[in-house]
Chain A
Amino acid sequence: MEIIIQQLINAVQLGAVYALIALGYSMVYGIIRLINFAHGDIFMVGAFIGFLLAVKFKLPFVFILLLTMFLTALLGIAIERIAYHKLRNAHRMSLVITALGVGTFLENLVRLAVGPQTRQIPAQLSNNILHLTNGIVVTEDKLLIIGISIMLMIVLWLFVNKTLIGKAMRAVADNIDVVPLMGINVDMIVSVTFAIGSALAAAGGIFFGQSYSIEPYMGIDLGWKAFIAAVVGGIGSIEGAVVGSFILAGIEVFTVAYLSSNLKNGIAFALLIILLVIWPYGIMGKPSLKKV
């Protein structure tokens, strides 16, 4: 029982990182139907910005987190403006190829700047061990990471569902052609979406870097996992991205704990294929109506 709960905590932590990345995939897809394959690399850049702020400037954790989110948000806006903006009405395939190109560019840019070796973001959070109940231990940083991640997701949910800008984002997702007639600047809404998605991925990057080492190609693997989590949850759906992420993390963590770490990806993806056979549009996704 203790082991199960212990593993559950690990799964929640990993799931939170997946979710922070998956949300960006899902939101961007929701509004402009783009699978932004550069998103995993935006997550990686976020981790490296956090690394630089921690190592070179030795800022306190809160500032590292906020400044990294801010700078990565700007990166997200810039990528959309420079690489995707002109292609908004182009064939989706052109956009996807461009996104892959942007991702490769970011990987190589970071590798050129800092080298290919793996690094560790210096621990920013106390890793004091807390004894929750008999036999269940958790480090403070883990709890904090889980807590901040869940808080970010709640803020995002409130933002999208309760505010006018959030409503405008949903309106763009719903019917992008009509939005300008409401006097709303669609470009502005798209920029806000990229900013939020990138900022969340950056937070994920920093949290990931607290527990694992970082390197310029880390975004590929994590990006794919988060993308798949978003699809399983129902791409375009915020709730779906979160649900999909925790399911994927849960499968991975428990496979490693009870079967074998070699089987981790195999079993995780096999189960995800089964889930998609049952819910072709994802667990919380809706079949999208093709506009005539």
Chain B
Amino acid sequence: MEKLLKIKEVTKAFGGLKAVSKYNLELGKGEIRGIIGPNGAGKTTVFNLITGVYQPDSGQIHLDGENITGLQPDTIARKGIARTFQNIRLFGEMTVWDNVKMAFHARTGYNFWGALLHSASFKKEEKRIGKESLEFLDYLGLAERRNELAKNLPYGEQRRLEIARALATKPKILLLDEPAAGMNPKEVEDLIGLIQKIHNDFPLSILLIDHQMPVVTELCHIIQVINFGQLIAEGTPSQVINNPLVLQAYLGEEEAIA
């Protein structure tokens, strides 16, 4: 079967430093994959390459059989790739509801005159967007918060809002960059449940980066380990955990025992 996302031999250097080198990844439909690796290993660079923030120096990226290498970030987003950030990035000065409404923009088109003249079809469209975006907020338990400014939400809710906004773009692939960053064990447990629920309820594949082992081992079917921009291991959680190379490069003695 054709893989949903295929990254082939991608290299990206900054100055003399190769952040990612001849990197490969395949993500099938409905799969959850994890990428782990020490700080500075190139994990976020991979996300930036997939979403078009960076252009690869060489190699190709294919989505659903289509070459998306070198496309602009907004085009790639419209083709069905959404992401969240390690340091949450919301529209802080906008309401929770408006944050999610923004995600509908791409599929609404830019009917300038319709907007200016407040035409009937335009109003109907705005109403539909209002309703649908509220459903996404409701799904993530944020409906009551809809009229608050995003920056005023507590940390955990900001994370959920970022996920709601990503889901509202109706992605084929959801990229989660350290979704458990800054969470306590209880919150991590809830997050794992939430990601599983999303995976069951939406027709999408998930690629996630995380430092916290429970997140990747409980969620991911296949885990990749990268270090210095290169793939050093790939396999099921148990395979990867027991790989001596991985233990050496990343996990360290204590974490391997735990």
Q: Are B126 and A171 in contact (CB-based, < 8 A)? A: no
Q: Are B94 and A185 in contact (CB-based, < 8 A)? A: no
Contact partner of B102 (CB less than 8 A), chosen from A159, A168, A188, is: A168
**Least distance between A277 CB and chain B CB atoms (Å):** 26
Q: What string of 1s and 0s marks CB contacts (under 8 Å) between B31-44 and chain A?
A: 00000000000000
Number of A-B residue pairs at CB separation under 8 A: 87
Residue A143 is within 8 A (CB to CB) of chain B in the complex: no
Contact partner of B77 (CB less than 8 A), chosen from A168, A170, A174, A180, is: A180
Report the bound CA distance from A159 to B91 in whole Å. Answer: 19
Residue B116 is within 8 A (CB to CB) of chain A in the complex: yes
Interface-located stretch among B14-22, B105-113, B220-228: B105-113
Contact partner of B115 (CB less than 8 A), chosen from A163, A174, A180, A185, is: A163
Contact partner of A175 (CB less than 8 A), chosen from B77, B78, B92, B106, is: B92
Chain A positions within 8 Å of B122 at CB level: 163
Q: What string of 1s and 0s marks CB contacts (under 8 Å) between A61-95 and chain B?
A: 00000000000000000000000000000000000
**Least distance between B133 CB and chain A CB atoms (Å):** 11
Report the bound CA distance from A179 to B104 in whole Å. Answer: 12
Chain B positions within 8 Å of A165 at CB level: 110, 112, 115
Q: Are A164 and B78 in contact (CB-based, < 8 A)? A: no
Count how many chain B residues have C-beta atoms less than 8 Å from C-beta atoms of the other chain.
35
Main SS of chain B's interface residues? helix
Main SS of chain A's interface residues? helix
Chain B positions within 8 Å of A181 at CB level: 51, 73-74, 77, 82-83, 166, 169
Which residues of A are at the interface with B, using a C-beta cutoff of 8 A? 155, 158-159, 162-168, 170-171, 173-175, 177-186, 188, 192
Which residues of B are at the interface with A, using a C-beta cutoff of 8 A? 51-52, 72-74, 77-78, 82-83, 89-94, 98, 101-108, 110, 112, 115-116, 118, 122, 126, 129, 165-166, 169
25 contacts between A and B (CB under 8 A): A163-B116, A163-B122, A164-B105, A164-B115, A164-B126, A167-B98, A167-B101, A170-B91, A170-B93, A171-B91, A175-B89, A175-B92, A180-B74, A181-B73, A181-B77, A182-B77, A182-B103, A182-B105, A182-B106, A183-B74, A183-B105, A183-B169, A186-B74, A188-B110, A192-B112
